[in-house]
Structure 1
Amino acid sequence: MQSRREIQRQNSENRSLKLIRNLLLIILLIFLLGWGLYAVGNHPRAAARRQATQIAKKYAGLKKADAFYIYNREKTYYTVAGKNNKNQQVLVIVPQKGGNVRVVQQSKGITKNQALTKVWQKEKPKKVLKVAPGVFNNHVVWEVTYTNHQGNLCYDLLRFSNGQLVQQINNL
């Protein structure tokens, strides 16, 4: 026959095991919920990336995609950066709602890092939020989105061909 102490010890162990099991279930549920929300929220971006990459392969002979960008101004553009079948670095700019696909050789303009450097040197942003190529007034541009030291949102558009400032919007 078991003593009272042994029964209490077994009950305490059972409660501890149940508590650990319940905590593990809660952690698993939180993880699955978070992953599900991320997957659902990222689905439109992933679909746009797949579609833009397929178009880039078809129209620009893209072999390898290195980066994907989304640009939103008057129109939305998806850009795939990578190497074409001639081993040239290119940007393939695909309008979201149809239209002409633009293929620009990276060697014919400034790079993402050069655009960032220009903005850092001139504006000294607190934090850069996004850098994306797109089309503005029928010219290929780099859009650099950042916050200034007052915490305000700012946009700089730099012409792809020479890095010239096309438009600046400050303190939104």
Structure 2
Amino acid sequence: MKYKNRNKASFPIWQYLIGIFIVLSVLVFSFFAVLQVSMQPRQSAKEASSRLAKEYADLEKVDSFAIYNGQESYYSLLGKTSKGVEKAILIAKDSNEIRVYRLDQGVSQSKAESIAKENGAGTIDKVTMGYFKDQPIWEVKSGGTYYLIGFESGQLVSKEGL
């Protein structure tokens, strides 16, 4: 009797396809699980900081959230109060000390960018509000260089390159 080799030959191909599908599914699931776990600390810091800013600084709407890592780490929030006043809130990561600044009483974010460009910055990657040497600053990142611009003075406080 003759057996059909066709079934025997096609059987391993289906096994390979099913195996590849399972491996790819596990890899995709693992990628998203790791992504979620890695974003969880930042998300919880954002939620806690937003809650503190709303409670202590009357911030109604948070427009941006960033983490400033200088001599100390700060959670930086920019937003508006219920009266429409734009404020910057800095919350110290370790001590939860809250610093509140009205954005109309200092150098604007765009002005800080132009000051950094005057001092050699190229393309601006990001701008973050922070606190350095007992004063609020705008940290302007351009490539591997950080330009620290005084929020109240509008002067270049420090230029740090990596």
User: Partner residue of 1:82?
Assistant: 79
Q: Evaluate the alpha carbon distance shift between residue 27 and residue 76 of structure 1 in structure 2; reply closer, same or farther with a 3 A threshold.
A: same
How far did 1:58 drift? Answer: 0.3
User: Partner residue of 1:26?
Assistant: 23
Find the partner of 1:131 among 119, 127, 150: 127
- Equivalence map 1:65-76=2 (5 Å): 65-76=62-73
Q: Distance in 2 between matches of 1:59 and 1:13?
A: 69
Q: Is the 2:46–2:65 contact (alpha carbons within 8 Å) kept by the matching residues of 1?
A: yes
Question: Which string of whole-angstrom CA distances, capped at 9 and with x for unpartnered residues, describes residues 30-89 of structure 1?
Answer: 112212222222222122111111100100111111111111122111011111111222
TM-score, normalised relative to structure 1: 0.80
How far did 1:100 drift? Answer: 3.5
- Equivalence map 1:1-172=2 (5 Å): 4=4, 8=6, 10-98=7-95, 100-125=97-122, 128-147=124-143, 153-170=144-161, 172=162
- Count of aligned pairs: 162
How far did 1:94 drift? Answer: 0.7
Q: Is the 2:140–2:147 contact (alpha carbons within 8 Å) kept by the matching residues of 1?
A: yes
Segments of structure 2 that go 5 or more residues without pairing to the other structure are: none
Q: Evaluate the alpha carbon distance shift between residue 163 and residue 26 of structure 1 in structure 2; reply closer, same or farther with a 3 A threshold.
A: farther
Q: Is the 2:115–2:156 contact (alpha carbons within 8 Å) kept by the matching residues of 1?
A: no
SS of 1:34 mapped into structure 2 = helix
Q: Distance in 2 between matches of 1:31 and 1:48?
A: 27
How far did 1:27 drift? Answer: 1.8
User: Partner residue of 1:150?
Assistant: none
Q: Evaluate the alpha carbon distance shift between residue 120 and residue 29 of structure 1 in structure 2; reply closer, same or farther with a 3 A threshold.
A: farther
Q: Is the 2:50–2:62 contact (alpha carbons within 8 Å) kept by the matching residues of 1?
A: yes
Q: Distance in 2 between matches of 1:128 and 1:67?
A: 17
Q: Distance in 2 between matches of 1:113 and 1:31?
A: 40
Segments of structure 1 that go 5 or more residues without pairing to the other structure are: 148-152
